[in-house]
Amino acid sequence: MNKLEGLDKPVRIAVAGHTNTGKTSLMRTLTRDARFGEVSDRPGTTRHVEAARLLVNGRVLVELYDTPGIEEPIELLALLEQQASASGSREDGPHRIQRFLASAPAREQFEQEAKVLRQMLKSDAAFYVVDTRDPVLAKHRDELEILRLCGVPLLPLLNFVADPAARESAWREALAGLGLHAIVRFDIVAPTEDGERLLYSKLAGLLDSHTDVLNALINNHAEETRLRHQAAAVQVAELLIGVAACRQRVSTLDAEALALGAQALNNRVVEREQVCVERLLSLYRFYPDDIETAALPLIDGKWQLDPFDPVMLQSLGIRVGGGAAAGAAAGAGIDLIAGGMTLGAATLAGALLGGGLQTIRHYGSNLLGMMTGEKNLRVDDAIIRVLAARQAGLILALERRGHAAQQPTSATMALRPVLNEGELPAELRLARTNPHWAEPGASLSGDERLQTAINTLSAELAQSMTLMRS
């Protein structure tokens, strides 16, 4: 029997803390929803309790409740002590909170705090979000004392621990003094790879009756991460195979025809990369404005005339003498800068050809002397390698980015090689001989050879990116 089958209600977790400590940002990170709630430097931005659900296989396992910030803890604790003294009875914490919630101050001066405490009483546990850059003050101690009166397990989350101004030791000492020894370091903007696992594992230690549910959530997150990484690699494999298969036919070899053909091929690559970027953003649940649209560094590569690859020549039935083929492969390249492909915008930065036209004019007479008739332009191996590095860099940046991050991820990230030097992978060399693989929707055509190539290449890319990440 599935351990979750007997589950009647999800685990309810309140997210509490002082104003502007990152409670809503935590909700964004845990729900992977960069648009959840409102995040602002203004105090008291969250004025109402907002809920979100975490599902596994369609079943709600966890309900998270974002609560307003506690603004007047010192005054509220004084009132609670006054009410307890006036009652003359020895009430436990939850009854003291309930007494307060039934009083007039809960509807007036402490309306925001009352919303927090009502949700606390209805929850199974609470995350207490700490901005470790703040000094530990009396108001924080009083705030924690009030929350503890609710009688639910409290798990402190130390936020902004990587900041040079963090006071982690002071906070740990203060929390221990209040009997809170189970603590999680969790940077909400850039959580570590195992951050959520540690978070829910610590919570499971506080909630014995919900261990199975929280472990199921942990396992599901791990599986989702693996599948998302795999799906991202498939998107990049489809891009690279489609680009490798691209050909642009030119009817003559004069400078104008070459320029127009190269521009058309460049545009096709730009469009394909933009589609890949958009799909990756969607896969990781980010938005275009989460990525800077500044132009990436220019590619020091070239669009290349028909390179006389023996495999391609054989597939096309072209017969060329060995000397001519060797000469063309050695000197027939036409240098064109593939400039300005941007993430999020897919616009060309500056002139497409620039100095490339001078190169065409320089080589033009020699080329025309060597070859005549229609030829195909195709994407140079160097360009494919850069596309692979660029998309891998984007994937790794998205995997490191928390959904609470406010600043866009830089598109000018350092590029690291993904494809080994030397020959391109066999799947990309095979794509060279199958130009129909460049057609829109080719990956959905049912072509078994194409599917095998995508699967094999994506597995290689996923492994390479995993090594880069470690």
In a domain, 223, yes or no: no
Q: What is the pLDDT of residues 4-37, one digit of tens each?
A: 554 568 999 999 988 888 888 888 888 888 777 5
Residues 248 and 324 in one domain: yes
Q: How far is CA 422 from CA 178, 238, 247, in A?
A: 62, 21, 22
Residues 162 and 252 in one domain: no
In a domain, 93, yes or no: yes
Range with the poorest average pLDDT among 56-65, 242-251, 284-293: 284-293
Range with the poorest average pLDDT among 25-39, 49-63, 129-143, 219-233: 25-39
Question: Which amino acid is it at 402?
Answer: G
Range with the poorest average pLDDT among 35-39, 64-68, 262-266, 336-340: 336-340
Q: Is 192 helix (H, G, I), strand (E, B) or coil?
A: coil
Give the number of domains in the chain.
2
Residues 60 and 156 in one domain: yes
CA dihedral 22, 27, 28, 29 (to 10 degrees): 90
Q: What is the pLDDT of residues 101-156, one digit of tens each?
A: 999 999 999 999 999 999 999 999 999 999 999 999 999 999 999 999 999 999 99
Q: Which two tokens stand for residue 205?
A: 């230690």
Decide if pLDDT at 412 tops 50: no
Cβ neighbours of residue 375 closer than 8 Å, sequence gap 6 or more:
249, 250, 253, 305, 306
State the CATH number of the domain containing residue 156: 3.40.50.300
Range with the poorest average pLDDT among 59-63, 90-94, 298-302: 298-302
Decide if pLDDT at 100 tops 90: yes
In contact, 299 and 338? CB cutoff 8 Å: yes
Residues 160 and 273 in one domain: no
What span, in angstroms and rounded, lies between the C-alpha atoms of 53 and 61? 8
Average pLDDT over residues 260-264: 80
What span, in angstroms and rounded, lies between the C-alpha atoms of 86 and 12? 33
In contact, 365 and 285? CB cutoff 8 Å: no
Domain containing 150 equals 11-206
**Which pTM value belongs to this model?**
0.73
Checking DSSP bridges between strand 375-378 and strand 50-56, what pairing results, if any? Answer: unpaired
Q: How far is CA 257 from CA 33, 253, 438, in A?
A: 48, 6, 22
Q: How far is CA 269 from CA 42, 195, 296, 321, 340, in A?
A: 44, 37, 15, 32, 12
- Give start and end residues of each alpha helix (H) in 178-296: 195-206, 211-245, 255-283
Q: 190, 206, 222: which is the final residue of a domain?
A: 206
Decide if pLDDT at 99 tops 80: yes
Residues 442 and 336 in one domain: yes
Residues 340 and 403 in one domain: yes
What span, in angstroms and rounded, lies between the C-alpha atoms of 227 and 417? 23
* Mean pLDDT of the chain, nearest integer: 76
Q: Which of 170-174, 186-190, 317-321, 403-407 has the highest mean pLDDT?
A: 170-174
In contact, 60 and 53? CB cutoff 8 Å: yes
pLDDT category at 86 given cuts 50, 70, 90 is confident
Residues 180 and 272 in one domain: no
Residues 158 and 244 in one domain: no
Residues 367 and 426 in one domain: yes
Q: Which two tokens stand for residue 87?
A: 């009652």
Q: How far is CA 40 from CA 217, 263, 365, in A?
A: 30, 44, 63
In a domain, 126, yes or no: yes
What span, in angstroms and rounded, lies between the C-alpha atoms of 158 and 184? 6
> How many Å separate Cα 288 from the centre of its chain?
12
With helix as H, strand as E and coil as C, how does 100-143 read? HHCCHHHHCCCHHHHHHHHHHHCCCEEEEEEECCCCCCHHHHHH
Residues 97 and 146 in one domain: yes
In contact, 51 and 65? CB cutoff 8 Å: yes
* String of DSSP letters for 295-361: PPPPB----EE----HHHHHHHT----HHHHHHHHHH------B----TTT----S-SSTTHHHHHH
What span, in angstroms and rounded, lies between the C-alpha atoms of 419 and 388? 7
421 or 414: which leads in pLDDT: 421
